[in-house]
Structure 1
Amino acid sequence: MSSPSPLRLDAHQHFWRYRAADYPWIGEREADLRRDFIPLDLKPLLDAAGLDGCIAVQARAGEQETNALLEMARQHPWIFGVVGWVDLCDPALEQHLHQWRDQPQLKGFRHQIQDEPRPATLMAHPAFSRGLQQLQQRGYVYEVLIRCADLSAATALCQRHDQHHLVLDHLGKPDIAKGPGAWADHLAPLAALPHVSCKLSGLLTEAGPGQRNAQALRPFIELALELFGAERLMFGSDWPVCLLADEYEGTCQVLEQTLGQLSPSEHQAIWGGTAQRVYQLEGSCP
């Protein structure tokens, strides 16, 4: 009898019922995102791309976001994991985490650090560090969402917290127009930390209209492969945000075109294996 195939996953996407007050980051330039995006919208896109499921990631601050995503995961088994939100600086963090003790779909947490007035200051704050330590002690993944300018501060944070997996979202949001040089210099120390993985996600929306193609993005993907290796990289569509730049199918195709002549095992890692290991996902596709 042959072994079941590993999962093929979209490791980074979002759902929401849109209310303007809940999503202040959706501005005029993102007006097309001002509507609901629910699991039934995504499932046909996953099927068409040959993906078995996804990991749903928070898009707003508030514990109600975590609970809403967990309810979706209970209703739709192809949502293999949830990355929710909790206030790491709350002195009562342990009590907040306790409410989700019996929620196996909850794999980690994230905060939109990039939107803080001083992201580096938050990452260096003792309360934030204590909270992250508590998450790691409980076996939760933490996703680091920052812009390229804060890669050095993110590296210092990840160096202090090495008891469980950490994940860098969107390759640290490089400035595509400036090229990969300075970004790679700042990314290299972070990539040298073996407990840090990285999502190949969000690049299309970071690129300008003339750079949303494999040729422009290939240098960034190749450097990510050189620095992390395929075993610490994972595909994420960033749907529905990716729709600002391309359709879901096009987002998948651009990454496929940039990966080059990788081995089958390297492709397998990026398209699901890394996420399955990092988020400790159970299940497989027969």
Structure 2
Amino acid sequence: MKIDAHHHFWIYNETEYGWINDDMSKLKQDFLPEDLNVLLKTIHFDGTVAVQARQSLEETSWLLELAQKHDFIKGVVGWVDLCSPNISEQLKQFAENPYFKGVRHIIHDEPDERFMLREDFQRGISMLHDFGLTYDLLLFPKHLPYARQLVETFPNQPFVLDHIGKPDIKNEVLSPWQEDITKLSDYKNVYVKVSGMVTEADWKNWRKADFKAYLDIVFEAFGPERIMIGSDWPVCTVSGHYESVLEIVLDYVKQYAPESEHRILGENCARFYSIKE
């Protein structure tokens, strides 16, 4: 089973999607399951994981409703208020739904760089394992040292780093991202999504070669056993078509044996998010 491990849906409105600026004007429209399903068929993928784009309980409920209606949505990474005193009630409510696989918080928008180390946030993280839930790390490179402290504190909690930590690909910056992501990979409870790279590159002028150094570093650090492919659709469309974005990774993994390819293109995602065929 081939799985796109990272994408979003939304019904656009300016209030809830204020981060979509004029440079991203093509995102100022609705993106729904019917739109993505057509694209999946063109690349012969079998399923997806839908990830939250709004920080609200309503968003999580809506994504779970979509998953129940569309067979290709194999799981949902939703949002809950991990800092809330009643976080256990929120988790219990959603965990009853078999499509609820994990949680994400938009860490890189928090004013406090050390947000992950807050006591109330870590209390919420501590409860995920009991519900069999994963956690998606959405970070900038400057947050990677704090992420390392977080994953070390919770060695039994599965984490996945979204978008390879969003390095500055456009300006060919490797350090200290390279050193920090390599250190993060030492923790075996951490996976990584090779996704979201085109929006960190030169939107209008990137080439596949621009990503090679970054992919080399990630694959050397994590190995084929802890890497999963993702599109970050529809955000990726500001810089490329769905097929061309995924082809960056699809072409790169051809150097690996078939069993490793299968892991990267679906098996790792299915294992991490407990997805059954």
Any conservation in 1 of the 2:148–2:184 contact (CA below 8 Å)?
yes
Q: Distance in 2 between matches of 1:133 and 1:211?
A: 43
| Residue 111 (structure 2) pairs with residue 111 (structure 1) | no
Q: SS in structure 2 opposite 1:255?
A: helix
Identify the residue that residue 4 of structure 1 maps to in structure 2: none
1:185-204 correspondence runs (5 A) = 185-204=179-198
Aligned residues: CA RMSD? 1.2
TM-score by structure 2 length? 0.97
Of 221, 224, 247, which residue of structure 2 is paired with 1:227? 221
Unaligned runs of 5+ in 1: 1-6
Q: SS in structure 2 opposite 1:187?
A: helix
Any conservation in 2 of the 1:214–1:258 contact (CA below 8 Å)?
no
| Residue 131 (structure 2) pairs with residue 138 (structure 1) | yes
| Residue 29 (structure 2) pairs with residue 35 (structure 1) | yes
Question: Quick one: percent identity of the two aligned structures?
Answer: 38
Any conservation in 1 of the 2:152–2:187 contact (CA below 8 Å)?
yes
Of 123, 141, 152, which residue of structure 1 is paired with 2:145? 152
Q: SS in structure 1 opposite 2:15?
A: helix
Q: Give 1:59 shift.
A: 0.4
Q: Give 1:209 shift.
A: 3.6
| Residue 209 (structure 2) pairs with residue 215 (structure 1) | yes
Identify the residue that residue 3 of structure 1 maps to in structure 2: none
Q: Which moved more, 1:156-165 or 1:57-66?
A: 156-165
Q: SS in structure 2 opposite 1:218?
A: helix
Q: Give 1:181 shift.
A: 3.8
Q: SS in structure 1 opposite 2:50?
A: strand
Of 90, 93, 103, which residue of structure 2 is paired with 1:96? 90
TM-score by structure 1 length? 0.94
Runs of 4+ in 1 over 4 A off after TM superposition: none
Q: Distance in 1 between matches of 2:253 and 2:140?
A: 23
Identify the residue that residue 262 of structure 1 maps to in structure 2: 256
Q: Distance in 1 between matches of 2:156 and 2:19?
A: 32
Residue by residue over 1:36-82, the C-alpha shift from the partner in whole angstroms, topping out at 9 and shown as x without a partner, is: 00000000100111100100000010000000000000000110000
Instruction: Return the letter of the residue paired with 2:36.
Output: L
1:6-155 correspondence runs (5 A) = 7-120=1-114, 122-155=115-148
Q: Give 1:179 shift.
A: 3.2
1:268-283 correspondence runs (5 A) = 268-283=262-277
Q: Give 1:203 shift.
A: 0.4
Any conservation in 1 of the 2:6–2:232 contact (CA below 8 Å)?
yes
Q: Distance in 2 between matches of 1:188 and 1:41?
A: 36
Q: Give 1:208 shift.
A: 1.2
Instruction: Return the letter of the residue paired with 2:83.
Output: C
Q: Give 1:180 shift.
A: 2.5
Q: SS in structure 2 opposite 1:36?
A: coil
Q: Give 1:259 shift.
A: 2.9
